[in-house]
Structure 1
C-alpha cells in the first residue's frame, strides 16, 4: 500500500482546493510546494459567480465575500455593459479579492482537514508504473503515492516530466502591473478605459490599495526585466484614461507577458494536470483561477471515488474529457477579448466593439456571454446521447425541505433530489445516498447531483425509484461503500 494516496504539486488555489476535496473525502494527500513562503503577491483577483457557488458548496463562499469587493456590472468592451445583477444565482457579481486572500482561506481549510503542506519541496524527477507514482525531490528525497496531480503553474515541472505538449503562443503586448495607493480613487468599483494607445484597469483590493494594469502600446516591447517605476504607470494612465487617480505610493510592480497555451492531454497514466499547468491565457476576463478551481472540484471527487473502489468505468478519464473542453472554451473567450481590446487595427476594434454591444442587447446572446464569463453556463456533454437534458449541467440552488441545495452538498457526497409528488424515490433510497425532497415546478422527478454541483443523472418518467437506485449504485457504489473512511 502506498503511504499517500495523492501527491499534489503546487500550493496555489488549484492545488489547495484539490487537497481540500480529497481530504474531505477521506483520501490521504500531501501538498508539495517549491516556494518556502506563502507569497503576498496577487496575480488573480476576480472570483466569478460559478466559483462562488462551488465554494458555497463547501461552506467557504461567505468567508471569501468578507475579504473582497463585489462588482455588479462589467464592461467587456467600451460601451458594452453586462449587468450581473440579473444572473440567476445566489452570487450575481464578480468578487474582487486578492489571490493571496483566497489562498489563505483554502490553506486554512486544508490544514483543518489534516492536509500536510510541505514547503521548499522542489520536484526534479518522476517515474510511475501500474501501481504507483514516485516523485524525486531536490536533496535526494522521494515521495510515493497512488496518483500525482501537477498544479505547479504555467512552467509546470510535472507536465514537462511526463512529456505532455503545451501548445499555443505568446501575446506580443507586455502588460504593466503595479499595486498602488491613490488619492482620487475611481467611482466605478472596477474601472476600465481603452483608447488607440492601449487599455488600463484599476482594481480595488478593499484595503486602500489598487491593482493598476496597463496594456500600453508605447511601452509594449520594453524587456520584461526592466524595472517598472510608478512614473511609467502614471504616464500610461494619463495618456490612455486622462487621469492617474493621484497615484501616490507603489509597493510592487512587474512587467508580464501573457500566453495562450493548453496541454494536449490532462492525464498521463497516474499523473494529472490542473490549473495553469493545464491551461494559460490572457488575463482579460479574469478566468485563470476560476478555471483552476473548477478543475480541482471536478477531479477531486473522481480521484476519491477511484481510490475507494466506486464509480463507473472510465470515471478518471472523464476528467480530461470534461475539463479539456472547458479549458479550450476559456482560451477562445479570452483570446477574443484580447483581440477585441488590443487588436492593432482601429477599424477592426471598432467593428468588434459594435458587434459586442449589439449582442448584449438581446437576451439569448447576452445570456450566452454571461454564462461563459461567469462560469454559470459551463456544462459537460453526457456520454449517453439519450441522457436527460439536465445531465451534465449545473444544478440550480433549489430550496429543499432539508435546506438549501448547495448547503446540502457541503459534505462532498452525491445528493439525490426527489421531486415526485409521492416521495417514492426518497423512500426507495433509504440510507444508500443523501436525499433531499423538493416541491415545485421545473425540476425533473429525480436528479442525482454530483459532489461538484453538476447533474450525474436525471429522469422525468419511467420507474423512477428503480432507475434512481440504479443510478446511485452506478455513481456511488453499493450502500455499504457510500461512506468509506481512511485511517
Structure 2
C-alpha cells in the first residue's frame, strides 16, 4: 500500500516538472544563481523520442551566454541556407553574431549539454517520479508525487514550473484550457540508414498530398518525417517502412535508398496555446504552454527561450530584490512570442501543404522573388532564427530597449558581452571609462550587476538583462546626468541598492 509523507521539496525552492530541454535549461539557470531546485521526471530509462533537430541562432546565443554553445556546435552541422519548397533557398549567412546559421543536431545532444550544466551547478534530477496532485497557497506550492515503487509523498516548494510537454500534467491539474486544433494528423517518424544521402543537411519537400523531411544524426543514421494526405490513421497505427519510402519518393522524387529502420512512430501535430503562462506560484513553459507545427523547427527553441526569460526572474524574486510585476512580465513577454510563432509555423506548414499544382507554382515564384530582396531576406531570417525578437518597451524608452543585445566587444576581460553574462547578473555596458559609474554599479548592486567597458567607439550606455535583452539604454554623455539616469535604471530593474558602508563616499 502506498504511503504518504509531507516535506519540503528535496533540496529545492523551485520544483520543475519535466527533464526535457526546457526544464533542464531552467534548472541550470536557477542553480547557477544559487536557487535550490529539483526536476521531477516521470521517465526512468525510457529514451526521449527525439523530434527536434534545429537549434537556431538566437538559441545558440543564449547557450553561449551560459558557456555551452561550443560544446553543442561540435556535435552537429551548421547550415547557412535552408531549402524550402524545393527551389526556394533562405540564406541565413546575413544574420548578425557568431552563429549565422541553424545548427542541425539531435535533441539528445542538446539535452546532454543542458543536463551536464544543470547537475554541475547543483540542480537535482529525480527520475521515475510522477506528479499526481497539485495545490497552492499564498506561501508556496504542494505537489503530490508518486515514486517508481508506488509510494506517494507531498513536496512543498516556493514555486513550481510545468515543463512537462504537450500532455502536461501540470496544465491538466490546474484545469487550464489548451485551445487550438490539430493541423496535421498521422505524421510518420523513422530512424533509417540511407544508401544515397541527400546533398543538403536538412532536406524538405512537399507536393500538396505528401511531405517529407530528412535530417542526419551525424552517426550514419537519419531521421525521416513523412506525411501522406490520403492515409492518416490513428497515432497508434504501426508504421511500415514501405509507406515512408512511398511518401518520400512522392515528396522528394527519391526515397534515398532508405533501409534498416531501427525505430518508427506516428504523432499528431497541433497548434495550441494556453491562455495564461502563470497561475499564482505555478508557471508553464515550453510545449506545456504552447505547441506548434514542426515547420521551421521552432518548438524546442521557443521553449528554451521561455526558460531563459523565466529563470532570472524567479531567482530575483527568491533573492528578495525583484521589482514589482517582474514575475508577471514572464507571461506578458512570452505569450505574444508563442502566439506569433504559432502563426508563422502554421502559415509555413499550410504553404507546404498546398495541393493544387497552380498554387504550388505560384507559391514558389512568390517565395523566390521575396528572398532575393535583401531587406526581406534579412527580415525572414531574423524571424525564423529568433534574432529579431524584441520585447515591449515603455513609452519614451530608448530605441534599443527590449531588443536583443548584440555580442559587442568589451575592453579587457571578458572580451565579449555574452561571456560577461555567464554569471547570471545584469551587465552595465558603459560607453566611456567612468570610475564613478563603475563604483555605483559594482558597490551598490554587487550581487546583481556587473560593469563592463564597451570596446568600440560608441556613445550608448546600456543595461543588459541576464537573458541578453536590453533593459534600458541612454546616449547621454554629460557625466552627472548620465550617472543619475543609470542610478534610476538600476533601481528600477535591480531593486533597492545595498546600503553604503559608513566610510564610503556618497552621492
Following superposition of structure 1 onto structure 2, how do residues 348-367 of structure 1 map, counting pairs within 5 Å?
348-367=359-378
Deviation at 1:2, TM superposition (A): 5.6
Question: Do the aligned residues in 2 keep the contact of 1:417 with 1:449 (CA within 8 Å)?
Answer: yes
Q: 1:260 to 1:164 in 2, by over 3 A?
A: same
Give 1:417's match in structure 2, choosing from 429, 450, 459.
Answer: 429
Question: Do the aligned residues in 1 keep the contact of 2:104 with 2:201 (CA within 8 Å)?
Answer: no
Structure 1 residue aligned with 2:494: 476
1:154 aligns with 2:189: no
SS in 1 for 2:152: coil
SS in 2 for 1:36: coil
**C-alpha distance in structure 2 between counterparts of 1:481 and 1:79, whole Å:** 63
**C-alpha distance in structure 1 between counterparts of 2:187 and 2:120, whole Å:** 38
Structure 1 residue aligned with 2:338: 327
Deviation at 1:227, TM superposition (A): 1.1
SS in 2 for 1:81: strand
**C-alpha distance in structure 2 between counterparts of 1:7 and 1:426, whole Å:** 37
**C-alpha distance in structure 1 between counterparts of 2:156 and 2:395, whole Å:** 40
Deviation at 1:342, TM superposition (A): 0.9
Structure 1 residue aligned with 2:504: none
SS in 2 for 1:429: helix
SS in 1 for 2:266: strand
**C-alpha distance in structure 1 between counterparts of 2:363 and 2:274, whole Å:** 29
1:455 aligns with 2:470: yes
CA offsets, 1:113-161, max 9 Å, x none? 1111111111111110110100111332111101110000001110111
State the TM-score, normalized to the length of structure 1.
0.94
State the TM-score, normalized to the length of structure 2.
0.91
Question: Do the aligned residues in 2 keep the contact of 1:69 with 1:96 (CA within 8 Å)?
Answer: yes
Following superposition of structure 1 onto structure 2, how do residues 312-461 of structure 1 map, counting pairs within 5 Å?
312-382=323-393, 384-401=394-411, 402=413, 403-420=415-432, 425-431=437-443, 432=445, 433-441=449-457, 443=458, 445-461=460-476
Q: 1:185 to 1:247 in 2, by over 3 A?
A: same
Question: Do the aligned residues in 2 keep the contact of 1:199 with 1:240 (CA within 8 Å)?
Answer: yes
Question: Do the aligned residues in 2 keep the contact of 1:74 with 1:83 (CA within 8 Å)?
Answer: yes
**C-alpha distance in structure 2 between counterparts of 1:133 and 1:267, whole Å:** 13
Q: 1:128 to 1:481 in 2, by over 3 A?
A: farther
Structure 1 residue aligned with 2:284: 273
Unpaired runs of at least 5, structure 2? 1-6, 501-507
**C-alpha distance in structure 2 between counterparts of 1:43 and 1:153, whole Å:** 13
Deviation at 1:106, TM superposition (A): 1.0
Question: Do the aligned residues in 2 keep the contact of 1:310 with 1:481 (CA within 8 Å)?
Answer: no
CA offsets, 1:219-254, max 9 Å, x none? 2x2222221121211122223322111112111111
Deviation at 1:43, TM superposition (A): 1.4
The number of residues matched between the two structures is 479
Structure 2 residue aligned with 1:73: 81
C-alpha RMSD over aligned residues:
1.9
Question: Do the aligned residues in 1 keep the contact of 2:310 with 2:330 (CA within 8 Å)?
Answer: yes
1:30 aligns with 2:28: no
1:166 aligns with 2:171: no
Question: Do the aligned residues in 2 keep the contact of 1:2 with 1:132 (CA within 8 Å)?
Answer: no
